[in-house]
């Protein structure tokens, strides 16, 4: 099993949520760590991946919204400072496409999720180090993790959709 490190300056853990039923708000988590062990970069079945994300590092490029997200109305970061993901199985779906099954924990609530993941390629960075790219996507229902804050709109509908799209873009290198 080979271990890999994330190149944080070329990786993103992001999310988006529909706002007022008409547009999407995008955000990222700026602080996280991961443990990645794979049998081979192009044969990831049998590997393991785990993430720990610092909730207080959420950024939507709006200070007031970010403060609200870490408050008890949403993530309650003082009580639940980490979001965790641990893979339970990795299955090949097709050429360079995988399903990463795992357990996602938010606010001490753990639910199984599946990331559809694509191996996007490899190259050599300016420091002569081999790097590999992956993009993983999933959608969660925030209510399943007790993220239930919302407001009804005068025009009908809600302020924030229940569905959250999660996209993880990773550039990794062997360690």
pLDDT digits (tens, 9 = 90+) for 38-58: 988 877 888 999 999 999 999
Average pLDDT, the chain: 90
- Residue 102 φ/ψ, nearest 5 degrees: -170, 180
Indicate the helix (H) or strand (E) that contains 159. Answer: none
Could you tell me the pLDDT band of residue 159, with boundaries at 50, 70 and 90? low
At 72-107, the pLDDT tens digits run 988 999 999 999 999 999 999 998 999 999 999 999
Could you tell me the pLDDT band of residue 135, with boundaries at 50, 70 and 90? very high
pTM for the full predicted model: 0.90
3-state secondary structure 40-93: ECCECCCCEEEEEEEHHHEECCCHHHHHHHHCCCCCCCCCCCEEEEEEEEEEEE
Percent of the chain with pLDDT over 90: 71
Residue 158 confidence (pLDDT) above 50:
no
Residue 151 confidence (pLDDT) above 60:
no
Identify whether the C-beta of residue 117 lies closer than 8 Å to the C-beta of residue 139: no
Q: What is the pLDDT, as a whole number, of residue 124? A: 93
At 15-30, the pLDDT tens digits run 988 765 667 889 999 9
């Amino acid at each position: 099993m080979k271990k890999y490190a994330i190149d944080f300056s070329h990786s993103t853990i992001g999310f988006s949520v529909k706002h007022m039923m008409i547009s999407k708000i995008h955000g990222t988590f700026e602080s996280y760590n991961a443990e990645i062990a794979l049998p081979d970069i192009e044969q990831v079945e049998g590997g393991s991946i785990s993430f720990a994300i610092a909730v207080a590092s959420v950024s939507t490029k709006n200070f007031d919204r970010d403060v609200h997200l870490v408050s008890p109305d949403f993530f309650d970061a003082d009580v639940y400072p980490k979001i965790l993901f641990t893979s339970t199985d990795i299955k090949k779906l097709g050429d360079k496409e995988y399903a990463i099954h795992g357990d996602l924990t938010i606010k001490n609530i753990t639910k199984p999720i599946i990331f559809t993941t694509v191996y996007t390629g490899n190259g050599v960075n300016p420091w002569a180090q081999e790097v590999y790219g992956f993009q993983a996507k999933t959608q969660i229902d925030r209510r399943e993790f007790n993220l239930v804050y919302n407001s009804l709109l005068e025009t009908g509908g809600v302020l924030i959709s229940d569905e959250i799209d999660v996209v993880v873009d990773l550039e990794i290198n062997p360690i």
